[in-house]
A and B are shown apart, each in its own frame.
Chain A
Amino acid sequence: MAKEYKTIKEVVGPLMLVEGVEGVKYDELVKIKQANGEERFGKVLEVNEDRAVVQLFTSSQGLKIDDAKAMFLGHGIQLKLAPEILGRVFDGMGNPIDGGGEIIPVKTEDINGAPLNPVARDYPEEFIQTGVSAIDGLNTLVRGQKLPIFSGSGLPHSKLAAQIARQAQVRGSKEPFAVVFAAVGITFEEANFFIEDFRKSGAIKRSVLFMNLANDPAIERLSTPKMAITCAEYLAYTLGMHVLIIITDITNYAEALREISAARKEVPGRRGYPGYMYTDLAGLYERAGRIKGKPGSVTQIPILSMPEDDITHPIPDLTGYITEGQIIISRDLYNRGITPPIDVLPSLSRLKDKGIGKGKTREDHSATMNQLFAAYSRGKEAKELAVVLGDAALSDTDKLYAKFATEFENKYVSQGYNTNRTIEETLDIGWDLLTILPKSELKRIDLDLIEKYYPKNKAGE
């Protein structure tokens, strides 16, 4: 039995100081027991001689220093795992809240995970069809990728995430599939939207939910995503499932991180966020992937709301440096009624090139993708110019590009939250749109592909 210390000296915000301790290890789990039987948990942040600084996982409200006892448990924070975990709902600390009773663990895992040897990774290259053209066609998602959705407050990122969770499939594959959902400091309504959506589509049976809502302690938020990822890793690498993790909202996680850092009086980096936030976020995101010789995969779709829609804010900025691309939701498109309002130009999937093409999607995918991007970009420029100078100032070609840009948004991007397009449908819509432009403008497509796929019923010249 671990020793109990009654020497808690200080509690300041989420931090607690215990003195006179012996044999305490860095990062160890701490259990705090009060006289009334109430239990809390925390972890060792720093240990200096016989003084341990402990970070509480739950709010420090109501904590009484004189009669509380601290026990050092000798291991990190763990999650209980068993196949029965599917279909269950937990709080942000991994306790069941659906009334279904405790999980009888087959296995317990430290939620921090251990970094993977890069050599053990298998390169993600299996195309996931999400049924959303702006993603499948232009910013393709593959198994084992981490592709965040950058959004803003009041934008419909939840609807898009739910649509992806509902429609995502690897074509022609019957392998078991699961969704792990982590609510990090979001409102009940937003969380409920997901639960309802999962329920309606029947996805709830193959889902695991971790809920830390807006009124739950902020400190818990630091554990919630790690719980979800640990659970996903178990489903993927032990049970061989393909797992999609949706974490919303990372911004709340980063804020909790800042809170701890401020309480520790650390030297802040940009905007008060700690200097190690990059490393900390990487500790979440880098756990997506595939492992050689294991059947499952972990694909992450974290959602983060950019404060003031500012992509250079430290949270989206550091995220973008770690993740393999980003899907950007645009307020402008949203206001114009484009659903989903994905701004494809600044969006990016870094792994798309390995996941598309002959044998994976279709041989014309890569070339048409480049062409659509280039054409849409030029069309938007032309439209901007027309706003300043009037349509008359555009050359004939630019007018066609402007028309292309409008049609592209309306037909390609705007498809609604319930349309599930196959990749062929998406590619064909792309070709249809390209016929707006003269054939000679299609410089990024090889001639033999134009020969083969250019819609025959259109003149185009």
Chain B
Amino acid sequence: MNDKKVGVISKVAGPLVVAKGMTGVKLYDVVRVSEKRLIGEVIELRGDQASVQVYEETAGIGPGEPVYQTGEALSVELGPGLIESIYDGIQRPLAVVYEKAGDQIPLGIEVPKLNREKVWKFKKVAKVGDKVTGGDVLGTVVETKAVLHKIMVPPYLTGTVTWVYEGDAKIEDTIAKIKDEKGVEHEINMIQHWPVRVGRPYVEKLSPTQPMTTGQRVIDTLFPIAIGGVACIPGPFGSGKTVVQHQLAKWADVDIVIFIGCGERGNEMTDVLMEFPELQDAKTGESIMKRTVLIANTSNMPVAAREASVYTGITIAEYYRDMGYKVAVMADSTSRWAEALREMSSRLEEMPGEEGYPAYLATRIAGFYERAGYVTCLGKDGRKGAVSAIGAVSPAGGDTSEPVSQATLRIVKVYWGLSAQLARSRHFPAIDWLKSYSLYDDVLEEYYDKNVQKGWTKQVQKARALLQEEAKLNEIVRLVGVDSLEFQDRLTLEVTKSIREDYLHQIAFHEVDTYTSLQKQYGMLNTILHWYEKGQEALKNDVSFKLIEAMPIRERIGRMKYVKEADFPKEFKDCIAAIDSDYDKLAKGGQQ
């Protein structure tokens, strides 16, 4: 082992271990605790005394046992083989651990983070004599059918390529040699090590301009998120946070998905593991597992590793962004991460802030989300990549006035607020249209109008205004009853009901309804609004409200969501035509 110095444990309290004699250790260095070699990280230094947060169960550890320094910061290994893996919070491949050790994760187990034995076909891009800097692509390997992995010059290295390999190689084999300005030759293999708490460098950050389409109508239409944007989903339990996260992981228009299960249920990760391989990505036709990395630190796994898991996830995301990919990071749930911070803070006997959370909570949350973004990557081809971050928040009692929600809301641009009320009436996704917002909508308007359909923005604004109007009207109805309303207003209530039930409501488990393309979204909303506008016109011409309310076409509108994408253009045209002709009939025969 390359362990250097040895300290001695003086105190053990849960995941916190204090060790003496730790001269020479740096803050956030990884140490191995006791002969069991548990993995820990130094989080406080006082003289030669170090406080270590241990990422494994500390039962059976006591004073007097050794602590080994490694001299390295907590790092991830980046290279081919990440995709399709399932890791714990400190990047131990759980599937490999399972094969090696069975149902449980043995303490201190050491397995390589990336498969060292697998042979990849390396195709060179760089040539001998090329002047390269950090981020330049040396060559590629096909990681999965959906992902072309670019092997890049590590950041901060500049020089001339003196040798490039082509052909079969394992990740530790040298695939290129680069001579730097000082004349030192570096052998480059396919692995990069990167400390998780440090963001990977890029040339510059750009403002997002494109939507990340998700196929979820309430999100794409009302509260869109941009590629490289950040969003949060707070909601009480049972309001469908996890289903929304899963839907995004399945359907979001991105190249890579990093799904972090942070302090959540074990069965949810199993669900992902069983379901994702079966699902097809619309773009590549491959299983969506072929573009997914899973990080699972379930609620009963050691708390400290929960804290590390979000950093592990975002670092892997940044690495794929460096290749010029669009990456989405889903963290479910950031509240559990914050709780892990709180637990360590309390063990360190720090002065608590609000609700016992440490005073630096907001800074940590901001630091995490700020690592997302749309950037120009390192490398001379000027490629662009993006990391979009979507964090679930689990506020106690669904009350978002608590510190984690508030700290998150100050950072994120998109807020999908889930409502217990909607969830209870089984309106899913239970995103509250009155409470939620997206600060990207004006940035993205142009894109939608140009690339989907002219008039998209106008139509969305109309739908939004109608939903606002409904809230107002409902208050009146609650006071004096629906009969007191004008027919125009009653028609408004009818159309908003249709918007809610036929449009915003979307069944994640229905094979067609689970995903709706932007074109179909436009068509569906257009049909509903068309029915409404025609209705208002008809009311002006004295057509009876009862007849409009009872129009059979409304049931057909309600079933548009189940119409397959391929059949939809025809259905859309037919529906509009049917609405027109039905109103014509009403106008002729249905006058009061």
Asked whether A27 and B396 contact (CB < 8 A) given A47-B11, A279-B300, A279-B343, the answer is: no
The secondary-structure label for the interface of chain B is mixed
For the complex, give the distance between the alpha carbons of A26 and B56 in Å. Answer: 13
Asked whether A117 and B104 contact (CB < 8 A) given A345-B425, A446-B562, the answer is: yes
User: Separation in Å of the A236 CB from the closest CB of chain B?
Assistant: 12
User: Separation in Å of the A245 CB from the closest CB of chain B?
Assistant: 16
User: Separation in Å of the A55 CB from the closest CB of chain B?
Assistant: 12
- Report the nearest A residue to B508, measured CB to CB: A353
Inside 8 A of B346's CB, which chain A residues have their CB?
266-267, 275
Contact, CB under 8 Å: B94 / A115: no
For the complex, give the distance between the alpha carbons of A440 and B426 in Å. Answer: 19
- Report the nearest A residue to B57, measured CB to CB: A114
Contact, CB under 8 Å: B64 / A23: yes
Inside 8 A of B277's CB, which chain A residues have their CB?
none
Contact, CB under 8 Å: A351 / B399: no
Chain A proximity mask over B324-368: 1 for CB below 8 Å, otherwise 0 = 000000000100100100110010000010011000000000000
Q: Which interface residue of B98, B399, B559 has the most chain A CB atoms within 10 A? A: B98
Contact, CB under 8 Å: A120 / B102: yes
**Chain B 257-311 interface residues, beta-carbon cutoff 8 Å to A:** 261, 263, 265-267, 269-271, 273-274, 296, 298-303
Q: Is A389 an interface residue (CB 8 A)?
A: yes
Asked whether A289 and B356 contact (CB < 8 A) given A24-B63, A282-B300, the answer is: no
Chain B proximity mask over A107-149: 1 for CB below 8 Å, otherwise 0 = 0000010111111111110000000000000000000110000
Asked whether A440 and B11 contact (CB < 8 A) given A268-B356, A286-B299, A312-B399, the answer is: no
Q: Is B183 an interface residue (CB 8 A)?
A: no
Asked whether A27 and B398 contact (CB < 8 A) given A121-B270, A443-B555, the answer is: no
Contact, CB under 8 Å: A388 / B478: yes
For the complex, give the distance between the alpha carbons of A447 and B271 in Å. Answer: 30
Q: Is A48 an interface residue (CB 8 A)?
A: yes
Q: Is B62 an interface residue (CB 8 A)?
A: yes
Task: Name the contact of B396 in the complex, choosing from A312, A350, A353 (C-beta under 8 A).
Answer: A312
Contact, CB under 8 Å: B558 / A118: no
Task: Name the contact of B299 in the complex, choosing from A28, A268, A278, A366 (C-beta under 8 A).
Answer: A278
User: Separation in Å of the B80 CB from the closest CB of chain A?
Assistant: 21
Among A92-100, A176-184, A317-325, A423-431, the stretch that binds chain B is A317-325
Contact, CB under 8 Å: A267 / B352: yes
Contact, CB under 8 Å: B60 / A123: no
Contact, CB under 8 Å: B86 / A48: no
Question: Nearest 4 CB-CB pairs, A to B?
Answer: A312-B397, A282-B299, A393-B481, A27-B59
Asked whether A28 and B60 contact (CB < 8 A) given A114-B104, A119-B273, A312-B397, the answer is: yes
For the complex, give the distance between the alpha carbons of A45 and B394 in Å. Answer: 29
Among A3-11, A163-171, A371-379, the stretch that binds chain B is A371-379
Q: Is A200 an interface residue (CB 8 A)?
A: no
For the complex, give the distance between the alpha carbons of A23 and B64 in Å. Answer: 7
Contact, CB under 8 Å: B62 / A24: yes
Contact, CB under 8 Å: B105 / A117: yes
**Chain A 342-377 interface residues, beta-carbon cutoff 8 Å to B:** 345-346, 348, 350-351, 353-354, 366, 370, 373-374, 377
Contact, CB under 8 Å: B13 / A118: no
Asked whether A117 and B60 contact (CB < 8 A) given A326-B238, A440-B555, the answer is: no
Task: Name the contact of B398 in the complex, choosing from A267, A312, A354 (C-beta under 8 A).
Answer: A312
Q: Is A403 an interface residue (CB 8 A)?
A: no
Contact, CB under 8 Å: B396 / A317: yes
Contact, CB under 8 Å: B426 / A374: yes
Contact, CB under 8 Å: A353 / B266: no
Contact, CB under 8 Å: B13 / A46: yes
Task: Name the contact of A278 in the complex, choosing from B62, B104, B336 (C-beta under 8 A).
Answer: B336
Q: Is A31 an interface residue (CB 8 A)?
A: no
Contact, CB under 8 Å: A275 / B343: yes
**Chain A 414-436 interface residues, beta-carbon cutoff 8 Å to B:** none
Q: Is A193 an interface residue (CB 8 A)?
A: no
Task: Name the contact of A118 in the complex, choosing from B57, B62, B296, B342 (C-beta under 8 A).
Answer: B296
Q: Which interface residue of A76, A283, A370 has the most chain B CB atoms within 10 A? A: A370
